[in-house]
Every structure is written in C-alpha cells, then in structure tokens.
Structure 1
Amino acid sequence: MRFSNLIFLLFFGLSSLGYAQKQGNLTYEVIVSDISIPWGFVFLPDNSILITEKEGKLIHFKNGKKTIISGLPEVTVRGQGGLMDIELHPNFTENNLIYFTYASSEGTGSGANTTLMSAELKSNTLINKKVLYKAEPNSRKGQHFGSRIVFDAQNRVYFSIGDRGNRDENPQDITRDCGKIYRLNDDGSIPDDNPFVNESNAKAAIYSYGHRNPQGMEINPFTNEIWSHEHGPKGGDEINIIHKGKNYGWPIISYGVNYSGSKFTGITKKEGMEQPLHYWTPSIAPSGMAFVNSDKYPNWKGNLLVGSLKFQYIANCTLQNGKVVKEQKILEGLGRVRSIEQGPEGYIFVGIEGVGIIKLMIK
C-alpha cells in the first residue's frame, strides 16, 4: 500500500460515520472501508451494496456492517484473475438472481479462465448456482481475464473476456474463446440472432471480437448503445461502441506499442475493423466506467467517467455527438480506481484499491 493511502486510511477511515474530505470542489466520503481490490459492486433494492473482493470474497454491506456471502464457487486467484464483476438481473426483485465473473480452474487445460455464473441470493447465501459460460481452454498466464457484465433491455447478458495474453491467436479467431465480448440469454442459452450462430465451429456466444482486455462496459442511458473500454499495451487504451459481429482490430491495428517500445503492428486502420471512439496514449490502464445522468452533478450530466489504475484518477470525459471533446482529471491520488457506479439516488460511487467504496459529491 502506498504511504499516501495509508495516511488516508489512518486519518479518514471513519468517513463512513459521516466524515468527509474535499478535493477541489469535490467532497468524498468513504462508505465501505478496508477493501483491498473492490473489483465490482452493485446496489441492492434496499440500497445495501454487494462488493466483489478480487481475492475471492463477496461482501454484503448493510447498515454499516460487512457480511461475507457464503456459497461462492471455488475462485482461482491467479495474476489479474479472481472474483471480478457483479450485476443484478433486471428482475432481481422477483427472482433474486445475481451474475458474476470469476477465474476458474474447471474445464480443459491447466491454469484458469474466466467464467460467468448466475446464482440466487437468499439470506446472504448463494443457492441454485449455474455456470452460464466458461472460457476454454484454461491458461497458466496471469493476465487479461477481463471482465465486465451488462444487461440490455431484453434481459440479455453481455460480458467481456480478455485475450489471456495470447494476442496472436485468440482475439481474431471466432472459433476460440478470449479477446471477445459475449452475449447470452439470461438463462445461458444462445440468442438466435447472435452474429456467428451459423458459422462453422465458431463460438456461438460471441457478440464482438478483436478485443485485448475490456475492463469497462456500460449501457449508454442516452442512446442504449453498449460502450466499452479496454487496455492497450504501452499506449492505445480504447473506448469503443460495441456493435454485433464487429471486429475491433486487436492486435492487427492499434495505437499502442510493446512495453519495450518496439512495434508489433505498423497500422492503426484497416478496412473491416472498427476505429475506437477515443484512445489514450500513454495508457491510463482504464478500469470501471459510468455514465452520469443524474441531477446531482448538473455540470457533468451526459459525461462518461473512466477510472485509471495507472495514474490513480477518474477521467471525467465530456461527450458531444458521441465523441470525447474534453477530459478533466478528478479524484486524483487516492489510489487505483477499479470500479465506478452511479447509485440509485444518483450519486457516483467509486471502488478504490486499498481504500474501499467512496461516495462522490459536489459542494
């Protein structure tokens, strides 16, 4: 843990009891403290919070108390993999279903790969668990598990899986898992209109391909489009609007280079491959994203918030005509921003590694 984060926790760890701190015109308050890597979180109908801790714990925070949810499957903590994103079924109040992604060693090959599971949440226990998708084969590599989850208006579930460090084989091959965004019906079945259902040997769950490591995905509340961002290598982090069956180019086209500085491709554009809506060079290592459609932040309404792991801030992106026209760095220096959500009352909440979940306000 960085020294600055330690000081923050020592002095401001009681923020959940009503203490708040200022940064410019922002006020933030620690709502849930002492979370190492809050990979994802979601609000339940009673405004309590479910939080995934990457090390393999699912935490229910209610009335100032943290309770560990029992019944999780075995989670393989390997490199960037562990317990990752979480989302409620759109009809959660009727069915109590949650969906989450995690690294699992089940299936073919040694190591682990990303899995999507649904489960019913009952009395702080997961029951009726069902594996909806398991990427195969497993890999002993520790990078690029993804993963984010969203639902569309038809209750279809989308989730991302990174290329697992195999950029030359996985992302461009629709007969292989990884480096993809997938779409399933909420029961795990394949939608009849998925783009590759009639392609020989294709993974029928694939919705889009040519991705590196998408760790942000949201439905744009103003357009109902699926927006995603993904890690580039050294440079070339991207924001993309995800369309059915499209190829997003990795690693054939990219605005990035190898970590050594050498080039792995000489082109940034190619026919049949999508251009990013926006990209960052140098890389900010994006994780988590949220659209602001709340009156709590009148000057930000319509903006896109993207977390930076590398530089430890939120990129507050002003959008015009579907383009990023301005970026403002906010919430700098508190720690690696892992996850961002707009809560049910319209406030923005942020998961920060080594700190926990904070509530963001403008004063």
Structure 2
Amino acid sequence: MLKKITIPILSTLMMSVSAFAQVPDSPVKVKLALITDQLSHPTAFAVTKKNPDLLFVTEQEGRIRIIQKGKLLEAPFLDIRKEVLKKEGYDERGLLGLAFHPDYASNGKFYVYCSVPVANPVKNQLDHQSEIREYTVSSNPLVADPAKMSKVLVIDQPQSNHNGGDLKFGSDGFLYISVGDGGGANDQHGEFGNAQNMTNLLGKILRIDVNKLPYTIPADNPFVGDANAKPEIYAYGLRNPWRISFDKKTHQLFAGEVGQNKYEEVDIITKGGNYGWRPIEGLHPFNEKDPQPKNPIAPIAEYPHPEGLSITGGFVYRGKAIPSLTGKYIFGDMMGPIWSLSPGKDDKWTRNKLSIGRDAGYWHVYSFGEDLSGELYVLTVILENTKGSLYKIVP
C-alpha cells in the first residue's frame, strides 16, 4: 500500500517527478483572493457559458456547491451524499469530477465521476465501482434533479485508491476521463499490472462520445478495431492521473500524474500514447522485470519527493490579469507548493515556484479551476481548521 500520513482524505492520492530545468531562486509573485472557506474537501471546479456568474465546486462527500457573485449558496446544486462511497479520514473515493456538456445551455446535461458501493465486494474481489453519471437540469439553473440521472460508464475498482476521477470535454466535443491503475502499490493487479493491460480501463485516459446514451466510441480513437484493446482507451501507462486539463489556446491535454514514492510528473497526453507505468516512473526505471514499452512518452517535468508528495495538476494560464503567467502551466502538489512550467526551446520546460504568501504545509492543494476568462482558482483544505477553501489567483 501507499505510505499513509496523518493528513485528511486525499493525502497520498497523488505521488511522482524532478525538474528538467533548474528552479530559479526568485519566485513569481501572485496573490490569493479568498472566495469562500465554507466548503468541505473540494475536488473539482467547473463553469458554464449559460450562467457565467456561477462557480460550481464538487465536495468529495457528494455535493456540488454553487458560488454566485462571491457568495456560497446554502442549497447545493446536487446532493448525492447518500449514494457516494467515502469514509471519514483517509480516503480517495467520493465525488471526484464534474464537467458540463458543451451544449449545456440547450440540453442542461452535466457529468460527474463518483465512487459507489459494490454488491458482495469480497465475493466479487472489488472495493467499489467508479461511475460516470449524466444528470439533467431543468428550468432552475441553481438546482439539478438527482432523479434525472443516467449511468454512462461503470468501472470496477479493486482497491480504494488510485481512482483518477477527472472529467473534461475537449474541443472535439468528446468527454475525456482520467482513471487510475486500480490502487494498492506497484500496480499489483495481473502479471504486469493494469496500466499496460489494454483489456481493461484502469491506468488510462478514456475518450467517449456521450451524445448517445450510454455512449459511443469516437471513430478515430486509437485502438478502434483492435481486438486486444478496449476502444474507449485514448492513452495508457498511467498510475494515477489525478487532474487533467486542456490548454484553451493549443488544446493540448495536460495531466498531473501521481507517482509511487519518489517522483511526481506532468505529462502532455497524446492520442495512443504510452506513458510508461509500471516499467517506468517519471524518467526512471521502476519495474525492470516488466516488458519495456517500445516508445514510452516522457513527462515534460518531474520533481522528487523532498519537494512534494503528491501532484495535483493544474491549468495553462490564458487569462489577462497576470500577463507574466500567459502560456505557463500552473500546478501544485498536495503538500502546498504551487509552480509554473514555462515552455522553451527543444520542448524543454522550466519550473518556477509561485510566491503565494502561504508556506508549504499550511494547506493541502486538492485541485485547480479555470473560469471562462482563463483566470485560475485553487481548491484547498486549510490544515489549522480543516476548512475547504476556494481562492482565486490574482496579480
């Protein structure tokens, strides 16, 4: 199992990487504007073109909260706490992902990634199941009807951890889903683990078309027609891609990929790409007895565990308020530090620490968010009072 430490809930959810360029001594300075500190373990953030003044935040326990013009509304947008599996304390399960359909303004559809109990877990050798669900909003934009739900995709999970759990729509209109390797340590399931096993959906980035229920497979998915691979697979060889995001300008897909116990990494996900886990962790051999991937894709950055513990992932900044961050990938680690990655010559990226006015260890960085204008938000839990908080990154 992963090394457990006494920090709440997602503590070791995200682990792996070392910098490809030296981290400069002078950090980039930004400020954090508190939006609310009345959340509970915030895991995902989303906005819609239909209601741009509403910020939607998922809570791991099973609620979606709305922040309207800086005020957290008392009534949740959706409450499925009775259905979601999440235990108090250390746990990686729960309500983990949220994405609104590109045509939400006309069809009212949105999607969540959540953990649910499984019948006869011992007999079925499962811990739980991950469900991607579709919900529909009617006339009231502040309330979703929990009864208007359809299950899109159900994934068997052998362990409680390494669920991935992020959802993002690409510019192609398809839904991308990050899924971890099934948990435990060392990708222990099967002869060579799940991440290199193309007959299951674990340790992968998936891509599906949700416009016909439950879903269809995009015709250009890389393994369509391969009898030895699931057609939903878009990329593979991943341990626990906790948060994924698209660059608004380039449409590149970034992933914060949690490592085992030495390195955390950032990947740019490409169609059909193999990211090396379990034979490789970051840039380093991990299980040399496994068949080695022919063309593994290296991360664009990695950092060792003395600098962090579990990568969160983030977004490429495309806002206007902080020009010095434009085009840089802003990401963090569960243990508190936040960095920027700057693209350079020969595909080399330089990592810089952001000066945010908080010491590492003051909080846990659970996730990041991006609004319609490209401005970024940080979802945290403050350690001294365990409050779930949402901050906006400002000049």
Scaled to the shorter chain, the TM-score interval is 0.7 to 0.9
User: Which runs of 5 or more residues in structure 2 are unaligned?
Assistant: 1-5, 8-26, 382-386
> What corresponds to 1:112 in structure 2?
128
2:105 match: secondary structure: helix
Q: For 2:391, give the aligned amino acid.
A: I
Q: For 1:131, give the aligned amino acid.
A: K
Equivalent residue pairs, number = 335
| 1:92 aligns to 2:104 (yes or no) | yes
Deviation sequence 1:2-50 (CA, Å, 0-9, x none): 9xxxxxxxxxxxxxxxxxxxx9953322212222311001123232111
Task: Report % sequence identity.
Answer: 22
- Cα distance in 1, alignment partners of residues 52 and 280 from structure 2: 45
CA gap of 1:143–1:25, structure 2 versus 1, over 3 A, is same
**In 2, are the aligned partners of 1:319 and 1:326 still within 8 Å (CA)?**
no
Of 239, 259, 277, the residue aligned with 2:300 is 277
2:112 match: secondary structure: strand
> What corresponds to 2:195 in structure 1?
171
* TM-score normalized with structure 2 length: 0.77
CA gap of 1:284–1:319, structure 2 versus 1, over 3 A, is farther
> What corresponds to 1:145 in structure 2?
163
Higher relative contact order structure (alpha carbons within 8 Å, sequence separation ≥ 6): 2
> What corresponds to 1:6 in structure 2?
none
**In 1, are the aligned partners of 2:245 and 2:255 still within 8 Å (CA)?**
yes
> What corresponds to 2:24 in structure 1?
none
1:142 match: secondary structure: coil
Q: For 2:154, give the aligned amino acid.
A: K
Q: By how many angstroms is 1:84 displaced?
A: 0.5
Of 172, 193, 199, the residue aligned with 1:154 is 172
- Cα distance in 2, alignment partners of residues 71 and 120 from structure 1: 14
**In 1, are the aligned partners of 2:63 and 2:79 still within 8 Å (CA)?**
no
2:106 match: secondary structure: helix
- Cα distance in 1, alignment partners of residues 55 and 330 from structure 2: 20
Worse overlay, 165-174 or 61-70:
61-70
- Cα distance in 1, alignment partners of residues 283 and 295 from structure 2: 19
> What corresponds to 1:131 in structure 2?
151
- Cα distance in 2, alignment partners of residues 225 and 25 from structure 1: 26
- Cα distance in 2, alignment partners of residues 347 and 244 from structure 1: 27
Q: By how many angstroms is 1:177 displaced?
A: 2.4
Structure 1 residue runs of 4+, over 6 Å off? Answer: none
1:34 match: secondary structure: strand
- Cα distance in 2, alignment partners of residues 47 and 326 from structure 1: 33
* TM-score normalized with structure 1 length: 0.84
**In 1, are the aligned partners of 2:193 and 2:278 still within 8 Å (CA)?**
no
> What corresponds to 1:80 in structure 2?
92
- Cα distance in 1, alignment partners of residues 374 and 176 from structure 2: 24
Worse overlay, 297-306 or 240-249:
240-249
1:328 match: secondary structure: strand
**In 1, are the aligned partners of 2:28 and 2:353 still within 8 Å (CA)?**
no
> What corresponds to 1:295 in structure 2?
320
> What corresponds to 1:103 in structure 2?
115
Q: By how many angstroms is 1:300 displaced?
A: 0.8
**In 2, are the aligned partners of 1:149 and 1:160 still within 8 Å (CA)?**
yes
> What corresponds to 2:332 in structure 1?
307
- Cα distance in 1, alignment partners of residues 232 and 374 from structure 2: 33
Q: By how many angstroms is 1:296 displaced?
A: 0.5
